[in-house]
């Protein structure tokens, strides 16, 4: 009977786990709807802004723009974006693995630092000499506790200032791009210096009226575009987190359900065997008394 009690306790424990994972799945699904709505609304705006900037800059030489300055690469900053919490499958580990791959590969020959946006990546690098946490940057988890454009713009401005000051010659953002609830892809995008836009075949047919001037508009659009680019990456990561957690909790619930079925079957078999043994013992005792 001790074996039966152990199986029954496991069934009860798994049932409680199923309730938790199912509740977490529903919470993540609700958060995913909001996060997905935010990124799907942001993407057309960000892409259109890039198209306009591309059309405007196609006839201008951006090499003189401070944000497009190509320098001898010595100091590199990787902005790694993860979540504050776990239980979302390989979502965080994929970003950390990509950052480690960049540190050991493409940027191995340079003085490279990692700026953590998200508690999980901060935990991975906080004891590393590559961790970059200067004054003026809040705690790693602050950004996703209250994700707004204003806070993202402040971080983007900080990165732009560090590039302009010459502290870093290249800044790269590593994050999870949202594809759908079940799929996220790790991207590493160059934030600074900006990559000159390539003129499309039909770009020349687009005509604009400029006030005060084409060059002046481009100069004002580039900082705005950089802030939008970073905010889009954070929104992508936020939606990807909830999608990954919803998928992970769905799989966990299904696995717990299958395990509960197997344990229930084992419990019933063990209980049936125990009852059969008791009947045999009773019958055997009765036969012995009759004899």
**Please, what is the angle between helix 149-164 and helix 214-290, to 10°?**
120
* Residues 25, 5: Cα–Cα separation, whole Å: 30
Closest CA to 241 of 114, 129, 95, 48: 95
Q: What is the pLDDT of residue 67?
A: 84
Q: Which residues of 156-174 are buried (b: 16+ CB within 10 A; e: fewer)?
A: beebbebbeeeebbbbbbb
Q: What is the pLDDT of residues 85-141, one digit of tens each?
A: 999 999 999 999 999 999 999 999 999 999 999 999 999 999 999 999 888 788 888
Q: What is the pLDDT of residues 27-39, one digit of tens each?
A: 999 999 999 999 9
- Report the number of secondary-structure helices (H) and strands (E) in the chain: 6, 4
| pLDDT classification of 11: cutoffs 50, 70, 90 | very high
**Domain boundaries in the chain?**
2-23+249-290, 25-248
Quote the pTM value.
0.85
Q: Is 58's pLDDT higher than 70?
A: no
| CATH domain 25-248 topology | Pyruvate Kinase; Chain: A, domain 1 (3.40.1380)
Residue with tokens 């900082």: 223
Q: What is the pLDDT of residues 226-280, one digit of tens each?
A: 999 999 999 999 999 999 999 999 999 999 999 999 999 988 988 888 888 888 8
**Domain spanning 2-23+249-290: CATH superfamily:** ATP synthase, gamma subunit, helix hairpin domain (1.10.287.80)
Catalytic, 88? Answer yes
Return the percentage of the chain with pLDDT > 90, whole number: 60
Q: Is 52's pLDDT higher than 80?
A: no
Closest CA to 187 of 147, 130, 232: 232
Q: What is the pLDDT of residues 136-179, one digit of tens each?
A: 788 888 899 889 999 999 999 999 999 999 999 999 999 999 99
Q: What is the pLDDT of residue 203?
A: 47
Q: What is the pLDDT of residue 206?
A: 62
| Dihedral angle, C-alpha 29, 44, 63, 174, nearest 10 ° | 10
Q: What is the pLDDT of residue 219?
A: 79
Active-site choice (62, 88, 181, 244)? 88
Tell me if domain 2-23+249-290 and domain 25-248 are identical in fold. Answer: no
Q: What is the pLDDT of residues 173-218, one digit of tens each?
A: 999 999 998 899 999 999 998 876 655 555 445 666 777 777 777 7
């Amino acid at each position: 009977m001790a074996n039966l009690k152990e199986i029954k306790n496991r069934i009860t424990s798994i049932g409680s786990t199923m309730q938790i994972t199912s509740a977490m799945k529903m919470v993540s699904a609700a958060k995913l709807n909001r996060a997905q709505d935010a990124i799907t609304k942001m993407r057309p705006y960000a892409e259109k802004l890039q198209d306009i900037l591309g059309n405007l800059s196609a006839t201008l030489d951006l090499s003189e723009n401070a944000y497009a300055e190509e320098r001898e690469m010595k100091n590199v900053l990787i902005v790694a974006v993860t979540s504050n919490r776990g239980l979302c499958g390989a979502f965080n580990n994929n970003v950390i693995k990509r950052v480690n791959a960049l540190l050991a590969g493409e940027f191995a020959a340079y003085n490279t630092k990692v700026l953590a946006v998200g508690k999980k990546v901060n935990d991975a690098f906080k004891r590393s000499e590559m961790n970059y946490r200067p004054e003026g940057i809040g705690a790693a988890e602050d950004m996703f506790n209250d994700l707004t454009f204003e806070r993202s713009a402040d971080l983007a401005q900080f990165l732009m200032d560090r590039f302009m000051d010459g502290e870093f010659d290249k800044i790269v953002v590593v994050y999870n791009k949202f594809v759908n609830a079940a799929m996220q892809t790790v991207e590493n995008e160059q934030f600074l210096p900006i990559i000159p836009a390539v003129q499309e075949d039909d770009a020349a047919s687009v005509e604009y009226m400029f006030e005060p001037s084409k060059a002046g508009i481009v100069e004002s659009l580039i900082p705005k575009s950089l802030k939008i680019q970073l905010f889009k990456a954070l929104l992508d990561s936020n939606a990807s987190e909830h999608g990954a957690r919803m998928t992970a909790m769905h799989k966990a619930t299904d696995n717990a359900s299958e395990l509960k079925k197997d344990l229930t079957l084992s419990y019933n078999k063990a209980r049936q065997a125990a009852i059969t043994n008791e009947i045999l013992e009773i019958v055997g005792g009765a036969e012995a008394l009759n004899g």
